[in-house]
Structure 1
Amino acid sequence: MKRRFLIVASLCFCMAGFAQKNEIKAAEKAMKAGDAASAKSALEAVSGSISGADVKLQAQYYFVSGKAYADLAKKGDGSAFQKAADAFQKVLKIEEESGKKKYSAETQQHMSALSADLVNSAVEDNGNKKFKEAAEKLYTSYKISPKDTSYLYYAASSAVNGGHYEEALKYYNELQEIGYDGSGVVYKATNVETGQEEEMDKTQRDLMVKSGTYKDPKDEKTPSKKAEIVKNTALIYTQLGQDDKALEAYKVARANDPKDVNLILNEANLYYKMGDKDRFKELMAEAAAVAPDNPDLHYNIGVINMEQGNLEEARASYKKALEINPGYTNAQLNLSTTYVNEGNGLIDEMNSLGNSKKDIARYDELKEKKDQLFKEGANILEDALKTNPDNQGILTQLKNIYGAMGDNENFMRIKKILGE
């Protein structure tokens, strides 16, 4: 009885192998006819039993599967790219382990073509703002061809463009793990016929120049992308609310490029978000030292000083911003506000005074000082109007100052300009 069972089992195994071979042959025939969908159906019929087949048949199965899915992907089935890649990689793994490399060379060729198709499809997806799909295709292309590390970099960029930050973070961390640099050389030459400068590989460029169809060869170095990758990693951690990891990333990034103003500003903004305004101020001052002609830096230093009540320091920063950019409206408005705020700070003391001779003298002293501060604030905005006479923000703030001063003549003049 046991012997009969073994004979039956053997017959079943032979029949399964026979069925597998028939379906694979049917798939190959369908592929020759350009019918990848029918090839896929034939292969799916034996997919559940292929793991028990001999390695030669398994390699053949996955080779045909890879070709079928690659063809379907090329015809518009985006989900087939990954299946094709998986199938081709299984061919290589099976034949590497078995030592029988019947399909490996041809599989490598198909994988190169698949990688090119993935990249072309990703470019199209990016153009259509399908950033998640583009990122996934570029990442698959990188996995097919790990030496092409730029695909991983562009996968991260696509994910960032689409706001898919967790995916982008995964790609950026992988770029750092493999030590991606991204620097290189771009080879260019000018087309004699069109006058347009074009990029090409070095061998082709040199041949074209030698033939006389191109001229003015240039070798342009592209900078390292390491600092950019770390900076983007930090920004993503910030976006995801992981501030401690963001600060650690900025520390690494700034160690690589301590004079990058954008890195300093991003770190400063993170400290501001975390409520550490003193550290924010220190970093803004550092940024201003690195880029002393940037009016926005001085303006932002002024803002934080004004928030902290350091009015003299705020004024110095706003004035510095205006030296660099005399038409900086927000700096003009905030500079004026520092004087108005100081004047308003005197009102509580004025209201607390009594009717004694000493209190009346003190009241008059404070009122004169308040009016002078308000006047200083008004003068700044009057000067601003000379170059920007229709600015509604300036006019409205100036009207309010004159109203607070009780200067009805100037109050009505500004109201008229505002059309009120």
Structure 2
Amino acid sequence: MLTSCGKSSPAWQVLKGNLSYRRGLYQKAILSYQTARDSLETDKDIVQYNLGNVFYALGEGKAALQTWELAEKNAVDADILFRTAFNRGVVYLNLGQYDNAFLSFKRALEINPGDTDAKINLEDALLRISSDETRTGEMPEIHISKSQSLLLDYIKRKEMEEWTAPENESIENVEDW
């Protein structure tokens, strides 16, 4: 992981890039991340992931996809693998490439099966694929079997139970702020 934080170190450049990104100074963030990437031996996946996020924030979805692909090729960290797959799914949804979105969210869930947002987005991609099929009359590349549909319904019910269960619990001893 990025450890040294001297002003010329790659870790410092990543921190500068993160700060610039949060402030909306995307060009400065890109320069900082590129400087860090060019001087790193390892952990390039983190920098590539961050660069992809900047490109996405700039509205450059295709550049973000390419950059996240590079991050995924170099990644050893499951968190980076999950985040790149998830973010690619979001971009594909926005581009109307629902089959690719489905595959990306499926990959994200293979890495982190408990992520609710990935589950919701996977279902959204499936619904959009089904909607496209009924509008165009074409057969999509990805077919939803009855068992997959039942599984999605089951997951949806379980997720709703998880979200509604705490509302039913009593909170007698909690002081009001």
Letter in 2 for 1:342: I
1:288 partnered with 2:68: no
Please give the per-residue CA displacement for 1:330-353, whole angstroms capped at 9, x wherever unaligned.
Answer: 22221111121122224555xxxx
The separation in 2 between residues aligned to 1:280 and 1:344, in whole angstroms, is 27
1:207-253 CA-to-partner distances (Å, cap 9, x unmatched) read xxxxxxxxxxxxxxxx4221221112223333444332322221111
- d(CA) in 2 for partners of 1:231, 1:309: 32
Higher share in strand: 1
Q: CA deviation at 1:374?
A: 9.6
Q: Report the CA distance shift for 1:240/1:261 in structure 2 as closer, same or farther (over 3 A).
A: same
Map of 2:13 onto structure 1: 230
**Aligned residues between the structures:** 154
Q: Select the residue among 273, 279, 303 that pairs with 2:57.
A: 273
Amino acid at match of 2:70: E
Give the structure 1 partner of residue 153 of structure 2.
Answer: 382
Structure 1's 332 and 278: CA in aligned 2 closer, same or farther, altered over 3 A? same
- In structure 2, what residue type is equivalent to 1:304? V
Q: Aligned to 2:116, which of 329, 337, 340?
A: 329
Query: What is the SS of the residue equivalent to 1:326?
Result: coil
Shift of 1:270: 0.9
Q: Deviations over 1:115-145 (max 9, x none)?
A: xxxxxxxxxxxxxxxxxxxxxxxxxxxxxxx
Indicate conservation of the 8 Å contact 1:339/1:374, yes or no. Answer: no
Distance 1:268 1:253, change over 3 A: same
Structure 1 residue aligned with 2:170: none
- The change in CA–CA distance for 1:348 and 1:389 in structure 2 (over 3 A counts) is closer
Q: Which amino acid aligns with 1:332?
A: K
Contact 2:83 2:108 in 1 (8 A): yes
Preserved contact between residue 336 and residue 376 of structure 1 (Cα < 8 Å):
no
TM-score w.r.t. length of structure 1: 0.32
Partner SS for 1:275: coil
Kindly tell me: are residues 389 and 237 of structure 1, through their superposed partners in 2, closer, same or farther at Cα, counting changes over 3 Å? Answer: closer
Whichever of the two has the greater Rg, that structure is 1
Partner of 1:298: 85
For the aligned residue pairs, the C-alpha RMSD in angstroms reads 3.3
- Matched position secondary structure for 1:390: helix
Q: What residue is the counterpart of 1:252 in the other structure?
A: 35
Structure 2: gaps (5+ residues):
165-177
Give the Cα separation in 2 of the matches to 1:264 and 1:251: 9
Contact preservation (8 Å) 1:271, 1:280: yes
1:242 matched to which residue of 2?
Answer: 25
User: Given the alignment, which residue of 309, 332, 340 partners 2:127?
Assistant: 340
In structure 2, the CA distance between the partners of 1:229 and 1:338, relative to structure 1 (3 Å rule), is same
The alpha-carbon distance between structure 1 residues 274 and 248, as it changes in their structure 2 partners (threshold 3 A), is same
Q: State the distance in 2 between where 1:384 and 1:236 align.
A: 38
Contact 1:327 1:387 in 2 (8 A): no
- TM-score normalised by L of structure 2: 0.69
Separation of aligned partners in 2, 1:255 and 1:289 = 17
* Residues 337, 377 of structure 1: 8 Å contact kept: no
